[in-house]
Structure 1
Amino acid sequence: MRILGSTTSGFTAAALTLPVLATTLLALPAPASASTPQPDPAVRWEKCTGTGLDPRQECADISVPLDHAKPRGPQITVAVSRIRSENPDRRRGTLLIIPGGPGGSSINDPSGKGKKLPASVRDAYDIVGFDPRGVGRSTPVSCGLTHDDLALVNVRGWPAADGSIDKNTETARRLAAACATNGGEVMRSISTRNEARDIDRIRQALGERRLSAWGLSYGTYVGAVYAQMFPHRTDRWVLDSSGDPDPKRVARGWLANYEIAIEDAFPDFAAWAADPANPDRLAETPAEVRPMFLALATRLDHAPIPWPGANPAELNGNVLRQTLLDSLYSVTRFPALAKLMAAARDGRELPAANTPPDQVMQNSVAVTGATICNDVDAWPATDPAPYARDVARSREQYPLTAGMPRNIWLCAFWKDKPRERPTRITPDGGPSNVLMIQTRRDPSTPLAGALKMREAFGARARMVTVDTVGHGAYVANGNACGDDAVTTFLLTGERPARDKAC
């Protein structure tokens, strides 16, 4: 999860005693009949605009209620895209890609992630993406933040070099006030449960009785909530890189889990950075990499280096720490982090900054904040004292993240309270048609949280754990064992009889 605790050594006792089925319960596509729904004729498909897209990708707008409790009331737009089955004779349904975030998009994923899917899966499904409520081409939202407030190190709430959270408190209060002033009714309507309702509206518009889905990161929580709210509308349900669905904490817990996740993933970077065959080698041994990183971050806390094009326009300790979080998402990002560290350490010119445009950040920050704050009212009061105590403990135990995961956030000052209670994921809420896949060393959604999701689903799910580092497991890390398990499930409905390690 992009926003995105407790340590774990495995399942709880309840999870260990889950019944093992010799075969899975298959969610077969419904036979065509007079009652089979038809696509909504009001949905007009046109060629998508944008660069680098498959020419076959189509886009359309779907109307959804601003308030699903008032279906005939004001409507907003959810943008969808698709690439139809590459072999209509083998088509069995629709595979919806549910994006991460919150604030992420899968509108271009039929041309992106969808292309990584095996040809057999692309034959079997129309691959569909969408911009969730408030995102991108859907009816968008913005908090109207200043350029400085869009810096990820400010949004995330990295404490000052001495651990103080005074500036973070001021920033959180200012961001919440801006969102309350500029966000409007659409922002107040954003929540995971409403995204699930919007997905069901997408299903209806496509004329599908059931959907299959591939949810990634925060999209796994959306997928889990949909499977709880609309269990008999699910066909084959894949959750890739899951967080803890604890309804009392939800996203606040995901933020806190960063401190565990980064500790899980950092040793892989350290081993890579000390490999003698690595042209970007930083140290002689893996054990030297961690103190090197911490010392460099501390030095940059007190002596930042100008970094034109970045936001803020300097490489300080917190910018380096945030870059570490981002870089551990994939081994393909390790070289850029190593080059940045080496340049800062050796006093050389820094690599060019890769900073998202302000417009993209405005939308992303607004939807992220709205989702997290509207989902659960479990943030401590506006008094910064309990946050300061949590930050101090976290800084001592988890120095790589320097207290950020426990810090105050704009939700502490959010004007509107959640309109609904969050969804509790349960083992008796629907058919046994969920397959989870997870890397062991995920820097965003750690295995500890995924095991909580697995426990919540009980016998409704199976889980495949891939022994690698990175965020995202299916067709992402070159693990044939894990990829084959998911592909087999999407094509046949068959899951491993037991949870599986790859």
Structure 2
Amino acid sequence: MRAAALYTAAGSLLLTTLAAAPAGSAPRSPAPPEASGTAVAVARAAVRGVEFGPCDGAGQDLPGRMECGTVRVPLDYARPGGRQIELAVSRVRATQRDPGNSKHKVPRQGALVFNPGGPGASGFHFPLVGRLPEWKRIAAAYDLVGYAPRGVGRSAPLSCRDPKDVFKGPTQAPTHPSESYKRERIAQAKAYARGCAERSGDALRHYHSLNNARDLDVLRAALGEERLTFLGSSYGTYFGALYATLFPSHVRRMVFDSAVNPDPAQIWYRNNLAQSAAFEERWTEVKEWIARHHGVYGLGETEQAVQRSYDRARARLAAEPAGGKAGPGQLQNLFLQAGYYDDYWPGRAHALSAYLKGDPQPLVDLAAPRREAAAEAENASAVYTAVECNDAPWPTQWEVWDRDNTRLARVAPFETWDNVWMNLPCAYWAAPRQQPLDVRTGPGELPPTLILAAERDAAAPYEGALELHRRLSGSVLVTERDAGTHGIVGGPNACVNGHVEAYLLEGRVPGRRAACAPHPEPEPRAAR
């Protein structure tokens, strides 16, 4: 009986959604099956809701008032009555108390849904940020809602290989790889792509950004929200932009933090080339900061001298990994993370300095892979690969990858080839590819949306924020000048946080563009 009632409600909404055009108007082209399937799934979710309760399993150790539940979505939106998968959802209710005046009750503004990016990252623990001072005013007004997107964590998890094979030991990371090394990595990429196909079968094709956007609308309906309030970071800005294009009338407020370039021609091969080029500039900034603090770290008084110190460490680690666990690949990854977040700079610089002075332990502590994290890392990598490979066409000839990245590595050696190896399975992908949606909204289609970007962000280069701003009519761009941290909401910049609070709490936005001075650089210290 319950199933029949759900399908009846879904059918009623679907008929309303797909009603014939008024007499005398031009006939509409038939809606694609995914559109009608989304309407069915949304209607079912609106009836079912989310049965939140105590967190169990992976969430049982979460503190405070965190609640957990699930939302069912179709694996394939073209067949909404077919296989369903469950997305893990979490929530902390709005406190409804102004942190500046605990006696002052604030009006509840609904649910704020968050996605941290990836692809492959989980927002399941997001509601706990309400405990931080920077989030307390937002947490007073909004139910903070996190979830694990399809494929991630407990949400119909994807896997491409045995997690035991993830961390096999120290790795190399040549900035100018030999032909034999390239052949080795090509073989690994082919094997990885085969593993993804073998482990997931036909289901693999349904893990992509368009379905992530559709899932978001189902989640909105399940939460009982007529319109969505959403905060997406990094990759979350991309499928958030897809959502705004597909469902503009369902948007209440949207914050795009560290925006990805949504131009269909950039998804995803060219975006990765742009990212590799940007990381070279960011790596130079890291070295310049270390050089300014030569008195603390002793790694060189110029950027070039710091590079020589780094190269000495790479050569030594190639000959003998630190603690038998950290090789050049682990060192490179450690400083790649520093390119994302400048609060990592002091700890990374200290580890490099200590290693060159004969103490490898700080480097081992930071860089050595953690076996207990292997399953999570394997899952995140599988989702990242599946989504990016499924989202768009990729070059299928190695010669194209080799030509483009050999040229780029001459001027940007730091991250170029590492980025290639991460994405190369897409050259040998078996599942069908999507054609990227042309992200675009016209005047009046969307309420004002807020785009945030650090001017020197390497993971999501600034051009992406400018492009998204051009494509979303009525959007407002807030730039943190002369800064490069990836993800700036809730960080140390009070100006940025003020714009976010004004927008989420009051709907206020600055002019079409606004700027914030950079947050202070980190202070040098011996350990993080």
Q: State the TM-score, normalizing by the size of structure 2.
A: 0.79
SS in 1 for 2:64: coil
Distance (Å, rounded) in 1 between the aligned partners of 2:168 and 2:383: 16
Which residue number corresponds to residue 44 of structure 1? 51
Matched, 1:328 2:322: no
Greater mean deviation of Cα atoms: 131-140 or 332-341: 332-341
**Aligned 1:248-259 pairs, distance under 5 A:** 248-259=265-276
SS in 1 for 2:467: helix
Which residue number corresponds to residue 379 of structure 2? 363
**Aligned 1:100-499 pairs, distance under 5 A:** 100-112=117-129, 115=132, 117-145=134-162, 147-149=164-166, 161-162=177-178, 164-276=181-293, 279-280=296-297, 282-297=299-314, 299-300=315-316, 302-308=318-324, 313-316=325-328, 318-351=329-362, 352=365, 353-356=367-370, 357-377=373-393, 379-381=394-396, 383-406=397-420, 409-418=424-433, 420-428=434-442, 430-457=445-472, 459-467=473-481, 468-476=483-491, 478-499=492-513
Greater mean deviation of Cα atoms: 107-116 or 237-246: 107-116
1:323 to partner: Cα distance: 1.9
Distance (Å, rounded) in 2 between the aligned partners of 1:113 and 1:205: 22
1:146 to partner: Cα distance: 5.9
SS in 1 for 2:309: helix
1:152 to partner: Cα distance: 11
Matched, 1:69 2:83: no
Structure 1: runs of 5 or more not aligned: 1-35
Which residue number corresponds to residue 82 of structure 1? 91
1:211 to partner: Cα distance: 1.1
Which residue number corresponds to residue 15 of structure 1? none
SS in 2 for 1:213: strand
Distance (Å, rounded) in 2 between the aligned partners of 1:276 and 1:327: 16
**Cα pair 1:37 1:209 within 8 Å, conserved:** no
Greater mean deviation of Cα atoms: 465-474 or 184-193: 184-193
1:259 to partner: Cα distance: 1.9
1:42 to partner: Cα distance: 5.5
Distance (Å, rounded) in 2 between the aligned partners of 1:114 and 1:205: 25
1:329 to partner: Cα distance: 1.6
Deviation string, structure 1 residues 188-232 (Cα, Å, up to 9, x no partner): 210101011111111111111001111001101011111111111
**Cα pair 1:176 1:415 within 8 Å, conserved:** yes
Corresponding letter in the other structure for 2:335:
L
Corresponding letter in the other structure for 2:338:
S
SS in 2 for 1:177: helix
Go from structure 1 to structure 2 and tell me whether the alpha carbon gap of 1:302 and 1:86 turns closer, same or farther (over 3 Å shift).
closer
Distance (Å, rounded) in 2 between the aligned partners of 1:165 and 1:149: 19
Distance (Å, rounded) in 2 between the aligned partners of 1:239 and 1:102: 15
Corresponding letter in the other structure for 2:299:
L
Go from structure 1 to structure 2 and tell me whether the alpha carbon gap of 1:249 and 1:93 turns closer, same or farther (over 3 Å shift).
same
Deviation string, structure 1 residues 268-325 (Cα, Å, up to 9, x no partner): 422431344974453234453234334543x2575242444xxxx3412x33222211
Structure 2: runs of 5 or more not aligned: 1-42, 97-104, 517-528
Distance (Å, rounded) in 2 between the aligned partners of 1:144 and 1:59: 29
1:161 to partner: Cα distance: 4.1
SS in 2 for 1:272: helix
1:235 to partner: Cα distance: 0.8
**Aligned-pair Cα RMSD in Å:** 2.8
**Cα pair 1:161 1:301 within 8 Å, conserved:** no
**Cα pair 2:252 2:447 within 8 Å, conserved:** no
Distance (Å, rounded) in 2 between the aligned partners of 1:368 and 1:209: 30
**Cα pair 1:394 1:403 within 8 Å, conserved:** no
Distance (Å, rounded) in 2 between the aligned partners of 1:237 and 1:40: 25
Corresponding letter in the other structure for 2:87:
V
SS in 2 for 1:96: strand
Corresponding letter in the other structure for 1:44:
E
Distance (Å, rounded) in 2 between the aligned partners of 1:116 and 1:196: 30
Corresponding letter in the other structure for 2:93:
R
Greater mean deviation of Cα atoms: 489-498 or 174-183: 489-498
**Cα pair 1:150 1:361 within 8 Å, conserved:** no
1:147 to partner: Cα distance: 3.8
Corresponding letter in the other structure for 1:440:
E
Number of aligned positions between the proteins: 455
Distance (Å, rounded) in 1 between the aligned partners of 2:44 and 2:289: 52
Q: Which has the larger radius of gyration?
A: 2
Go from structure 1 to structure 2 and tell me whether the alpha carbon gap of 1:463 and 1:113 turns closer, same or farther (over 3 Å shift).
farther
Deviation string, structure 1 residues 340-390 (Cα, Å, up to 9, x no partner): 32244334324324535221122111111110111001x112x32222222
**Cα pair 1:98 1:222 within 8 Å, conserved:** no
Matched, 1:96 2:113: yes
SS in 2 for 1:465: strand
Go from structure 1 to structure 2 and tell me whether the alpha carbon gap of 1:274 and 1:235 turns closer, same or farther (over 3 Å shift).
same
Corresponding letter in the other structure for 2:351:
L
Which residue number corresponds to residue 68 of structure 2? 59
Distance (Å, rounded) in 2 between the aligned partners of 1:281 and 1:445: 31
Corresponding letter in the other structure for 1:315:
G
Go from structure 1 to structure 2 and tell me whether the alpha carbon gap of 1:178 and 1:338 turns closer, same or farther (over 3 Å shift).
same
Go from structure 1 to structure 2 and tell me whether the alpha carbon gap of 1:496 and 1:114 turns closer, same or farther (over 3 Å shift).
farther
1:443 to partner: Cα distance: 2.8
Distance (Å, rounded) in 2 between the aligned partners of 1:380 and 1:223: 26
Higher relative contact order (CA 8 A, sep 6+): 1
Go from structure 1 to structure 2 and tell me whether the alpha carbon gap of 1:481 and 1:91 turns closer, same or farther (over 3 Å shift).
same
SS in 1 for 2:476: strand
Identity %: 31
Go from structure 1 to structure 2 and tell me whether the alpha carbon gap of 1:89 and 1:474 turns closer, same or farther (over 3 Å shift).
closer
Corresponding letter in the other structure for 1:441:
R
